Amino acid sequence: MTNNVVTVDVGGLERLRAAAVSAGQLEMEKLVRIVVSDLCNKDPFGVVDDVLARHVWDEVCWCHQEGPYMDNLESM
């Protein structure tokens, strides 16, 4: 029986990871801009009653900054 051994160069693995992150960074930024733009074009749902939101992105930002609003609804 032959034992197959694979040795991994940790420095090479880190360079591979960095290259993958770098390659996907521009695509991820483009995707984020598209999603934010789409949310800015949608009317708010009115999830947060005491906040005057212009669009869904406002509601998402408020919920992210102020904490999970939906947890409060479950206790009612």
**What is the pTM for the complete model shown?**
0.57
Residue 76 pLDDT class (50, 70, 90 cuts) = very low
Is 25 contained in some domain?
A: yes
Select from 31, 27, 69, 25 the least CA-distant residue to 51.
Answer: 69
Does residue 63 sit within a domain?
yes
User: In this predicted structure, what is the pLDDT of residue 70?
Assistant: 59
Residue 1 lies inside a defined structural domain of this protein: no
User: Per the structure, how many domains does the chain have?
Assistant: 1
Within-domain flag for 3:
no
**pLDDT tens for residues 20-59?**
999 999 999 999 999 999 999 988 876 666 667 788 888 8
Q: Looking at the domain assignment, is residue 5 inside a domain?
A: no
Q: What angle do CA 26, 13, 6 make, to 5 degrees?
A: 145
The predicted pLDDT at position 10 comes to 86
Per the structure, the complete domain to which residue 63 belongs is given by 10-74
- Do the domain assignments include residue 32? yes
Residue 56 maps to a domain = yes
In the chain, count H helices and then E strands.
Answer: 3, 0
Structure tokens at 61: 């930002």
Instruction: Flag whether 41 is in a domain.
Output: yes
Task: Give the three-class secondary structure for 22.
Answer: helix
pLDDT exceeds 90 at position 60: no
**Contact yes or no for 34/28 (Cβ under 8 A):** no
